[in-house]
Homo-oligomer: A and B are copies of this chain.
Amino acid sequence: MSTSSSSPSRGSGRGQRVTIADIARRAGVTSAAVSLAVNGRPGVSEATRTRIMEIARELDWEPSPAARALAGAPVLTVGMVLARPAEVLGNEAFFGAFVAGLQEVLSAQDYSLQMKIVDSPEAEIDTYRRWFAQRRVDGVVVVDLRVDDPRIPALEELGQPALVVGGPGNHGSLPSVYVDDAHATQLLVDHLAERGHRRIARVAGTSAFLHTAQRDHAFLGRCAELGLHGELQDAGFGAEDAAVATAQLLSGQHPPTAIVFDSDEMALAGSQVLAESGVAIPGDIAVASYEDSPLARTHRPAITAIGRSAVEYGGVTATRLLEVVSAARRHRGGPVEEAESEVRALEPELRVRDSTDPSQQPGPDEVR
C-alpha cells in the first residue's frame, strides 16, 4: 500500500501530522463522518464506524485538542488554583493524596488537571476569569473554602462549571462536595469522653477556613452536650504554631487532659512539646488528630486520628465535577441543576491508637 497517492502536500509540510482528512481519504468517506465515528456519535453505520476506527488506529491518529477546542468541543481539562503559601503544600499529608485521587478519575476520562498557585484570593478569581475567557478549562474545583468566601459570588457571576470542596453550606448556588467535619468532631469528642476525659482542648488551624469554624462550633457544642469543659486554642497551620499553642495550654491554670489537633503535622509537633515537658501521652494528656498519616502511625505512641481517605475524597470530587461539566454542556446557558447540589463525599472514620488508648495493639491493618 503506497501512501503517496494524491495531493502533494501543499505548503512546507513539516511534521506531516495525521488528520481526520487522511483517515477519511483512506476510508472513502468525508471527514465529518470520521468526526462522528471517533466521537461515538450517531450518524454513521456501525460498519463504517468500525472501519474508521481501525484506520485511525493504524495511522496512529491523535486528535488535536486545539482544533477540537476551537471548534467548540470541550477542552478536556479542569483547573484548580491554590491560594496558599507554597511550602504548605508539601507539609500536609492530605493534599497530595487528594490530588492523586482527582487525577485518577480524571485520567480515566481522558481529562487532565491544570494547577496554579497564586498568592491571594483576588489572583485566584482573576485566574478563573481568564481560564474561562480563554476556554482553557471546562470547569474548576474550588478548595480551601473560607467562611465568607469572595470566590463564591465571583464564580456564580461567571456562570461557569465550578465545584466547591467544603461545607456543608456556604457554597452559594454552586454545587459542592464535603466531608462532615461535625461528625468527625463528634467521633473524637465522644471517644475522649468515653475514656473519661473532662477537660478537652482543641488546637485549631487558621480560623478563616470554613472547616475550622465548623469544627470549632461542633467541638464546643458537643462538649457542652456532654457536660465537658471544652477549650479552643488558635494556631495557624503548621508545626511551629501548634508547638506554641500546646505550650500555652500546658502553662494554663487547669491544663486539659486531652488535646485534639487539626492536622497530623500539628499533632506531631504538639506531642513533641508534651514529651519535652515530661508529660506522658496518654497517661497525663491524650492526643488525637483530625488527619492521619504514616508518621502519625509510626509515632510512639501512635496517634489516634480521623481517617478521611483523601484519595477517595479526590475521586468523588473529580467524578462530581465531571458531572457538573457535562450537565452544563447539555443545557447551555440554562441554570445549573439544583438537585443534589450538595454531596457528602465520604464518612470520616476514627482510628483509635495508643495516644488516647494505651490498650490498643497495632492491628494487622497497621502493618501494611
Could you tell me the distance between the alpha carbons of A63 and B68 in the complex, rounded to whole angstroms? 16
Assess whether A92 is interfacial by the CB under 8 Å rule. yes
Q: Mark A117-128, 1 if CB is under 8 A from B, else 0.
A: 110000000000
Q: Mark A99-137, 1 if CB is under 8 A from B, else 0.
A: 111011001000011111110000000000010011110
Could you tell me the distance between the alpha carbons of A273 and B300 in the complex, rounded to whole angstroms? 8
Could you tell me the distance between the alpha carbons of A180 and B102 in the complex, rounded to whole angstroms? 34
List A242-297 residues whose CB lies under 8 Å from chain B: 242-243, 265, 268-269, 272-273, 275-276, 293-295, 297
| Across-interface contacts of A168 in B (CB, < 8 A) | none
Decide: B99 and A62 in contact? CB cutoff 8 A: no
| Across-interface contacts of A92 in B (CB, < 8 A) | 90, 96
Decide: A130 and B300 in contact? CB cutoff 8 A: no
In whole Å, how far is A18's beta carbon from the nearest beta carbon of chain B?
A: 9
| Across-interface contacts of A130 in B (CB, < 8 A) | 62
In whole Å, how far is A319's beta carbon from the nearest beta carbon of chain B?
A: 16
Decide: B310 and A90 in contact? CB cutoff 8 A: yes
Decide: A62 and B311 in contact? CB cutoff 8 A: no
Given A62-B133, A96-B96, A100-B117, answer yes or no on A239-B297 (Cβ-Cβ < 8 Å): yes
Identify which of B60, B62, B97, B243 contacts A86 (C-beta below 8 A). B97
Decide: A239 and B298 in contact? CB cutoff 8 A: yes
* Chain A interface size range: 35 or more
Given A117-B107, A265-B295, A294-B238, answer yes or no on A14-B333 (Cβ-Cβ < 8 Å): yes
Given A97-B89, A298-B272, answer yes or no on A134-B63 (Cβ-Cβ < 8 Å): yes
**How many copies make up the complex?**
2
| Across-interface contacts of A276 in B (CB, < 8 A) | 300
In whole Å, how far is A347's beta carbon from the nearest beta carbon of chain B?
A: 20
| Across-interface contacts of A96 in B (CB, < 8 A) | 86-92, 95-96
Decide: B240 and A294 in contact? CB cutoff 8 A: yes
Assess whether A93 is interfacial by the CB under 8 Å rule. yes
Decide: B117 and A114 in contact? CB cutoff 8 A: no
Could you tell me the distance between the alpha carbons of A239 and B299 in the complex, rounded to whole angstroms? 9
Q: Please provide the 8 A-B residue pairs with the shortest distance between their CB atoms, ordered closest to farther.
A: A90-B96, A86-B100, A89-B96, A66-B69, A239-B294, A62-B133, A239-B298, A66-B70
19 extra A-B contacts, CB within 8 A, seeds A86-B97, A295-B295: A14-B333, A64-B70, A66-B67, A66-B68, A86-B100, A86-B101, A87-B96, A87-B100, A90-B93, A90-B96, A100-B117, A104-B117, A107-B116, A239-B297, A239-B298, A242-B298, A243-B298, A269-B294, A273-B300
A-B contact pairs, 15 of them (CB 8 A): A14-B332, A62-B130, A62-B134, A64-B70, A65-B69, A65-B136, A66-B69, A86-B103, A87-B93, A90-B98, A91-B293, A103-B115, A104-B117, A239-B294, A269-B295
